[in-house]
């Protein structure tokens, strides 16, 4: 059972962008559908596990982390539209890893020794190089879309960083903060569509995409269980395999065309990103 909890986060987060791209939809459909599915799973887990109540401050902090995740995910969905899965996923993964690593270093002192800092810095450099390699393209005409997608990812990745870091501010079990996190995801999604495209609430694709929110939240819950039972380092390493699943799926399932040169750079880039994430977890 531990192996299942270990693998499901990578599988779930890896197939999430593939499902979103397969269903004909707009950003509003995608983000609200995700929020609906996340809240649904959050309510089920709350009912099944009935975790001990948390204080109002912990509840609000946990909810804030879910809101921040939605900001990051909105940027990712927009970038998927502009750049496709094979470019978006390695870059967004790299930005998440670099951002959370640096925040952990400066805010929480998680690289206490000089050796930790040297190893961690080396890992971050590998991740950056890997992300750059995956973005190399033979199609010069795609540069404007790539530049716009990259700008969106850089700006909105702050949301992912907050989602990863905020739970460290509370001293309670991951299961206890899961429901308020999912409530935060739904709340932010609802606010987003209310301000940008309220009509999507009635559209079929929105409700069809609730499966994306279920996949994300089940994967997130499995990561919590895996981290508690197996350890954060091992669980974190395996979760980063999502970038491989998503990128390979983008090529073979979504049929995103790549030249031989681009494929070589993508393979090397993915190897560097995964290697960097492995090293980071031990630094």
Determine the average pLDDT of the residues in 31-46: 97
pLDDT in tens, 145-189: 888 999 999 999 999 998 888 777 787 878 899 999 999 999 999
Q: How many residues does the chain have?
A: 283
Instruction: For residues 122-147, give the mean pLDDT.
Output: 83
Answer for the pair 128, 26: CB distance below 8 angstroms, yes or no: no
Q: Average pLDDT of 71-80?
A: 96
Structure tokens at 198: 């309220």
Q: Can you read off the two tokens belonging to residue 17?
A: 């962008």
pLDDT interval class at 199 (50, 70, 90): very high
Domain ranges of the chain: 2-282
- Say how many CA atoms lie within 13 Å of 217 toward its Cβ: 32
Average pLDDT over residues 41-63: 90
CA 210 to each of CA 37, 170, 186: distance values in angstroms, whole numbers, following the listed order: 4, 29, 11
Give me the pLDDT at residue 120, please. Answer: 85
Specify the pLDDT at position 278.
84
- The model carries a pTM of 0.91
Q: Is the pLDDT of residue 140 over 70?
A: no
Residue 141 pLDDT greater than 70, yes or no: no
Give yes or no for a contact between 4 and 11, defined as CB atoms under 8 angstroms apart: no
Rounded-to-integer distance, Cα 62 and Cα 22, Å: 31
pLDDT at 202 over 70: yes
- Which pLDDT score is estimated for 111? 77
pLDDT-derived band at 53, boundaries 50, 70, 90: confident
pLDDT at 210 over 80: yes
């Amino acid at each position: 059972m531990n192996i299942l909890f270990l693998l499901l986060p990578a599988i779930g987060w890896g197939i999430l962008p593939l499902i979103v791209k397969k269903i004909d939809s707009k950003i509003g459909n995608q983000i609200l559908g995700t929020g609906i599915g996340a809240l649904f799973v959050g309510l089920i887990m709350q009912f099944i596990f009935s975790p001990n109540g948390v204080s109002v401050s912990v509840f609000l902090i946990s909810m804030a982390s879910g809101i921040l995740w939605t900001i990051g995910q909105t940027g990712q969905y927009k970038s998927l539209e502009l750049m496709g899965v094979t470019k978006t996923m390695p870059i967004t993964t790299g930005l998440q890893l670099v951002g959370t690593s640096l925040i952990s270093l400066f805010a929480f002192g998680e690289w206490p020794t000089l050796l930790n800092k040297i190893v961690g810095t080396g890992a971050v450099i590998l991740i950056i190089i890997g992300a750059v390699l995956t973005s190399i393209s033979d199609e010069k005409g795609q540069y404007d879309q790539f530049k716009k997608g990259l700008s969106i990812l850089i700006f909105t990745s702050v949301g992912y960083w907050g989602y990863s870091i905020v739970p460290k501010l509370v001293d309670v079990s991951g299961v206890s903060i899961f429901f308020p996190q999912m409530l935060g995801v739904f709340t932010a999604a609802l606010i987003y569509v209310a301000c940008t495209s309220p009509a999507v609430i009635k559209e079929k694709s929105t409700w069809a995409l609730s499966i994306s929110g279920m996949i994300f939240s089940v994967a997130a819950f499995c990561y919590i269980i895996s981290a508690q039972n197996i350890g954060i380092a091992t669980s974190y390493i395996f979760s980063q395999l999502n970038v491989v699943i998503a990128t390979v799926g983008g090529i073979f399932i979504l049929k995103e065309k790549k030249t031989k040169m681009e494929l070589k750079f993508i393979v090397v880039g993915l190897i560097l990103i995964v290697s960097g994430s492995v090293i980071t977890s031990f630094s």
